[in-house]
Amino acid sequence: MIRFIAFILLLNLLSTDIWAQILIKGVFKMPHNSYETGDTAVFAGAQEDADSKKLYFISESSNDLVPADKVGLLFNEANFWDLQQFYYISSKIKSKGWQIEKRKKLEQKTLTLLAKLESEKKIYEDKFVEDYLQRLVQNIHYPEFSKGRDQFLNVKILNSDNKICYAFDNGTILISTQLITDLDNEKELFRILSEAVAHILLDSNIDNIDANSESDYRQLGAVYPESTKRHVRLIAEKYLSYYEKKMNSDPYSDQVIFINSIASIISYTAWQEYYNQQYNKSLLYINKLVGYGIANSSDYLLNAKIYLKIANTSEANQKALEYLQKATEFEDQLLPEIYSEMGIVQLREEEYLQARESFKKYYEIISSWQDEEKKKWAVKMINTCTIYIQQQEEDFLNSAAYPESDSLMTE
């Protein structure tokens, strides 16, 4: 009979969705009701009085509101994020439960949105960068968390030229390529991911669902009012201070490691800006990689192409050739376009012999391809160079046979 009653009590507890609520012990600093100084109790959250702004702790056993100044919480029994949940959402969870069904529907809508983004090629996939971001999130909060059921934090990269980061109730963080590219160091990235984690753990999504909006992100509660964003920014800043003290040293990667970790995204964004004819922005991004000595053949090719777009001077042409020559040093990343671009620059400089050799190299690389148009173009450029070379030779012979000299003129 006793076991049966215990089972019913457990079942009732689970049905209220509060089994994963954060509970923290506290020691009474002064008497309160039946408690004496030094007594301990378990508290299920904090609640601020709307009028007096006085903070109370909620007794887990009796729902009694205990003035916070009468209790000393045993903080060493809870981590940073447990405390944030305790102070900011535990009272709501105690009264409403975790609203499991509502969260399941929200999760399904989130998964539908992510599938849509993947089908539209809007998810940037790079396992190396994804793992780097995931490791940062693991440093912020171990990926597993609980909102009435076990869930996990997971980072995905959104292919977007907007500086945005979305956090979803199921633990997914969506950060854009543009935002990552524009960051100056790992600490900035760490702060943004900390804010995303804070939004998820503090139920920002549940509190901001806009079912009537046409925006998928607003329907999922991933767009927040300024008051929520300010609150989360303060918490993220507190977490960075806590994390840095806990690590007892500079916990962030140095600049070379940081840039190398996001290099593929910087390169991708630079190419996108190039195609959008934003040549100065493209050059700014690609020079991040060149400056730290981690550019690859594609990056040097882009650098050369930018110079050819923004100037037609011998100095710019020579700079482009310098970058193209650098690009040829990466044998494992050899791109045929390096040589077609090199040939074009050499034609600009009237270096016809060199240009013909570059177009021959280009043809040699693509000869096994099925792209007949590129092969025809390569042959045409080789022949064009031959014509220029012949014309150059004829001009030289003519100038040698008929030198322009006043000494040949007679009175």
What pLDDT band is residue 12 in, cutting at 50, 70 and 90?
Answer: very low
Q: Name the percent of the chain lying above pLDDT 90.
A: 75
Residue 8: pLDDT over 50: no
Q: Which of residues 277 and 410 earns the better pLDDT score?
A: 277
Can 124-252 and 257-397 be said to share one CATH topology? Answer: no
pLDDT in tens, 353-387: 999 999 999 999 999 888 899 999 999 999 999 99
Q: Which of residues 12 and 226 earns the better pLDDT score?
A: 226
Measure the CA–CA gap between 60 and 44, rounded to whole angstroms: 5
Residue 29: pLDDT over 80: yes
pTM, full prediction: 0.87
- Which residues contact residue 57 at a Cβ distance below 8 angstroms, ignoring those fewer than 6 apart? 26, 43, 45, 46, 47, 65, 66, 67, 68, 71, 73
pLDDT given at position 70: 96
Domain spans of the chain?
A: 7-96, 124-252, 257-397
pLDDT given at position 398: 75
Token pair for 30:
């002064």
pLDDT given at position 3: 39
φ and ψ of 72, to 5 deg: -110, 110
Measure the CA–CA gap between 41 and 351, rounded to whole angstroms: 86
pLDDT given at position 411: 45
Question: What's the rounded mean pLDDT across residues 319-332?
Answer: 92
pLDDT in tens, 340-357: 999 999 999 999 999 999
Measure the CA–CA gap between 376 and 380, rounded to whole angstroms: 6
One-letter amino acid for residue 321 of the chain: L
Question: What's the rounded mean pLDDT across residues 325-333?
Answer: 87
The full length of the chain comes to 411
In CATH, the number for domain 257-397 is: 1.25.40.10
Measure the CA–CA gap between 162 and 223, rounded to whole angstroms: 15
pLDDT given at position 410: 46
How many alpha carbons fall within 13 Å on the CB side of residue 294?
17
CB 201 within 8 A of CB 236: no
Residue 321: pLDDT over 80: yes
Token pair for 391:
């014309």
What pLDDT band is residue 406 in, cutting at 50, 70 and 90?
Answer: low
Measure the CA–CA gap between 229 and 237, rounded to whole angstroms: 12
Fold held by 124-252: Zincin-like (3.30.2010)
Residue 389: pLDDT over 90: yes
Residue 18: pLDDT over 50: no
pLDDT in tens, 170-224: 999 999 999 999 999 999 999 999 999 999 999 999 999 999 999 999 999 999 9
Measure the CA–CA gap between 148 and 166, rounded to whole angstroms: 22
Report residue 259 CA to chain centroid gap.
12
What pLDDT band is residue 281 in, cutting at 50, 70 and 90?
Answer: very high
